[in-house]
Chain A
Amino acid sequence: MPARKKAIKLLTNRTCKEMTDLILGYLNDTLSRSVMRDFQRHLRICPDCVNFLNTYKKTVTTSRSLRPEEMPAIVRDNILDFLRKRIRKNALRS
């Protein structure tokens, strides 16, 4: 086993795969104290997991930064027109 991998295993008890599974909990701050300690210890010695975490976070912030789609006025008018007709039609029936 290469020295780097051995060091990671000895120091963190967590593999990179396990780290990936814990990212959501890490970002939501819902990991237990001991797991959080393992997570942070692993990050200190594993640049691949640091980079993976950065790109995961970037994906989330990019999604969050998308501006809301505004409803076009014509769509709003169409919907209101539809509702008006349906309400009146059903009122007449009753």
Chain B
Amino acid sequence: MLAYRSMTAQNLSTPGIISTLELPGAATSPESSLRSRPRHKADDTELVERLKAGDEEALEVIFNRYSAKLYNVAQKILGEVADVEEVIQDVFWTAFRNAKSFRGNSQFSTWLYRLTINAALGKIRRSKKSKETEYEEYLPKFQKDGHHSVRPVIDWSDTLDEKYAECELRQLLSDALDQLKPLDKSVVVLSDMEGMSDKEIAMMLGLTVSAVKTRLHRARLFLRGKLAVQLGHSAA
């Protein structure tokens, strides 16, 4: 039975999650069992149990706790606000409806991130909007003996910030990210932008740690190549 089926008539008569969020601090129904619960900073384990019982307020707390982070991840992967909105609403609806399928084998936040990334990747697959490029052109090239094929390799690390304002740099990197394979883009977003460990990313994406490292390294090499070309240097 789905979680929402366990909601009582009393739950439904209360202002509920959304109206509370719309009107922070609004007066709540005194007869509501949800509202009479003592206020404290609930941990995720407690919230999940409440979510499994169809508690709307638990969804509110979870939404407030994670929606900004999940939005950021989905935005980096998808780009378009309308797509991101759809993904985030699906994630929280799925979390509410399918809370019982969360078995606690990973952290609840990991589960939410996984839902978000799966939804975002699914959206890209369905829309076929991916602008992915062949990496080869932007990866370093080597001679048969293993030395750099284009020499000297230019160190442009100091000139990047001088040449581009932060917003231009953001756009530049965002365009380059869009050309990564969706799964690789997810790895870069989670690792370099969200600061997650390889192990956490592996769990979220259903990859081995070794596969995460390989994808991350190759994606970074591609991004490096794109930045080098943008600055007028060889990607190699």
Interface membership of chain A positions 49-76, coded 1 if the CB is closer than 8 angstroms to chain B and 0 otherwise: 1111011111110111011111110011
- In the complex, whether B22 has a CB less than 8 A from a CB of chain A is yes
User: Chain B residue with minimal CB distance to A24?
Assistant: B217
B interface size (C-beta, 8 A): 61
Q: Is the CB of A87 within 8 A of B56?
A: yes
The answer to whether A78 touches B146, judged by C-beta atoms less than 8 angstroms apart, is no
Q: Contact check, B156 vs A75: say whether CB atoms are below 8 A apart.
A: no
Interface of B is mostly: helix
The answer, among B68, B84, B142, B173, for a CB contact under 8 Å with A15, is: B142
Q: B76 contacts which of A69, A77, A79 (Cβ < 8 Å)?
A: A69
| A55 to B92 Cα, complex, angstroms | 39
- Mark B1-22 against chain A: 1 for CB-CB distance below 8 A, else 0: 0101101000110001111011
Query: Bound state CA distance, A39 and B113, in angstroms?
Result: 36
CB pair B155 A71 closer than 8 Å: no
Contact with A along B151-163 (1 / 0, CB 8 A): 1111111001000
Instruction: Known A15-B146, A59-B224; judge A79-B67 contact (CB<8 A).
Output: yes
Per a CB cutoff under 8 Å, which of B12, B22, B81, B170 touches A80?
A: B22
Q: In this assembly, does A23 line the interface, its C-beta being within 8 Å of a C-beta of chain B?
A: yes
Q: Which of A23, A58, A75 contacts B160 (CB 8 A)?
A: A58
Residues of chain A at interface, number, CB under 8 A: 50
Chain B positions within 8 Å of A94 at CB level: 4-5, 7
Known: A64-B193, A75-B81. A69 touches B72 (CB 8 A): yes
Q: How far is the CB of B134 from chain A (nearest CB, A)?
A: 19
With contacts A17-B142, A56-B220 taken as known, whether A83 is within 8 angstroms of B68 at the C-beta atoms is no
Contact status B224-A48, CB under 8 Å: no
Q: Please measure, in the bound complex, the distance between the C-alpha atom of A76 and the C-alpha atom of B81, giving whole angstroms.
A: 11
B5 partner residues in chain A, CB cutoff 8 A:
90, 94
